[in-house]
Amino acid sequence: MFEKIERVPGDAILGLIEAYNQDPNPQKVDLGVGVYRDVNGHTPIMQAVKQAEAHLLETEATKSYIGSHGDPRYGRVVADLVLGTGSAVIAANRVSVTQAPGGTGALRLAADFIKSNLPGKSLWLSDPTWPNHLGIFEAAGIAMHRYPYVSADNQLDFDGMLATLKTIPEGDVVLLHACCHNPSGFDLNQDQWHQVLEVVKSRGLLPLVDFAYQGFGDGLEPDAFGVRLMAENLDEVLITSSCSKNFGLYRERTGGLMVIARNAEQMENVRSQMAIVARENYSNPPSHGAAVVTEILESAELASVWRAELTEMCARINGLRTDLVESLKPYGLDQRFAHVAQQRGMFSYTGLTTAQVKRLREEYSIYMVGSGRANVAGFTGENLPYVAKAIAAVVD
């Protein structure tokens, strides 16, 4: 029966891990998948995580199921982290959190929820967006449309975005990146978030805010500006959050889908549907990563260790942005790549073309996504001069 099944190309982002690992070139540079790397190019386990795990090893008393919504303690700490302690929506009992296998799992919950509970509603995505957004929502059978986000000259196209948002039919879902836009690194400023809020309100849209990089842009609080603005000013919002990056828990699959409803009763109704969606996907979410996050955020001491580590990671990435631009100066390319220093988060839409990316890979063993997206955390003091020289050689 399998003889008609065709082989398909691997995932454009995850496939780079394999290709990089197989490359024997000692100078190879991995700017592909979005994982944080330290000065040695290593993705470390955070100290706060290690300490929380040590405590869990001593105290964890069961491996029994945790239920489709996951651990309510995790739900509480994540709601505080995302919406802010003292949030009026939390106080009004309008928020439900369903623990999920990573931000990806949370997105799939959102997709299945939309499909079964908001029939006929389309999803609007930024162009470009994280390629897996398209895969997840297509798999769930949701119709998709795009709104402009990056212009042909590689700048944030806010006018284009707003103009299209103003045409979206009432009740459709609009996916917004809370911060650290993946893949472009171009974020909205506070004034632009206010303008988006007004359009969302006036057109009666449902925002689905993807919050995968809290703490990687300008810090935990500033990065939450847009998501909190939506939460505080709208009756209904969906938020997917991830602890993959800010707790370095990638493989532990730690995320959540947050629903804000008009009132506590409607929240409970939606929440009951989320339990079904989770049950039908994977029954119960994995526990370990969420237990680690809960340990950290419930302990003032561990939380402060974690915040310090996250601040350091964020500062390192932002420093590398300026370092790259500096490294390109001797080649007269600093103006051309000045946007890299202004972008935020793990990624930069460098403006390199697919052909240039291919040359970087084939001739220099520098790996980045074909769209020209580079993981800035992949730069080190050691590889920057090599990367800068290679970029200079491939650009016109």
Residues binding ligand LMR: number (CB under 6 A): 6
Q: Does residue number 13 form part of the binding site for ligand LMR (CB under 6 A)?
A: yes
Q: Does residue number 107 form part of the binding site for ligand LMR (CB under 6 A)?
A: no
d(C-alpha 210, C-alpha 112), whole Å: 16
Q: Binding to ligand LMR (CB under 6 A): which residues in 128-167?
A: 130, 132
Q: What's the number of CA atoms in the CB half-sphere (13 Å) around residue 12?
A: 15
Burial 299-324 (b: 16+ CB within 10 A, else e): beebbebbbebbeebbebbbebbebb
Q: Does residue number 241 form part of the binding site for ligand LMR (CB under 6 A)?
A: no
> Please, what is the minimum distance in Å from the beta carbon of residue 60 to ligand LMR?
28
Phi and psi at 199, nearest 5°, equal: -70, -45
Q: Which is nearer to ligand LMR, 84 or 128 (CB)?
A: 128
> Please, what is the minimum distance in Å from the beta carbon of residue 183 to ligand LMR?
7
Q: Does residue number 33 form part of the binding site for ligand LMR (CB under 6 A)?
A: yes
> Please, what is the minimum distance in Å from the beta carbon of residue 182 to ligand LMR?
5
Handedness of CA 98, 99, 100, 104 (dihedral sign): positive
Q: Does residue number 367 form part of the binding site for ligand LMR (CB under 6 A)?
A: no
Q: Does residue number 350 form part of the binding site for ligand LMR (CB under 6 A)?
A: no
Helix spans in the chain (H): 14-22, 47-59, 72-83, 88-91, 102-117, 131-139, 158-165, 190-203, 220-223, 225-233, 264-281, 288-298, 300-328, 339-342, 354-364, 384-394
SS3 66: coil
> Please, what is the minimum distance in Å from the beta carbon of residue 111 to ligand LMR?
16
Q: Does residue number 175 form part of the binding site for ligand LMR (CB under 6 A)?
A: no
Q: Among candidates 96, 104, 103, which has minimal Cα distance to 68?
A: 96
Helices 102-117 and 264-281 meet at what angle, rounded to 10?
A: 110
Residue whose entry in the numeric block shows the structure tokens 């190879």: 28
367: tokens are 């790996």
Which residue's beta carbon is nearest to the bound ligand LMR? 34
Q: Which is nearer to ligand LMR, 33 or 302 (CB)?
A: 33
Binds ligand LMR (CB under 6 A): choice among 98, 182, 348, 371 = 182
Q: Which is nearer to ligand LMR, 205 or 249 (CB)?
A: 249
Residues recognised as catalytic: 130, 210, 245
Q: Does residue number 34 form part of the binding site for ligand LMR (CB under 6 A)?
A: yes
Residues near ligand LMR (CB under 6 A): 13, 33-34, 130, 132, 182
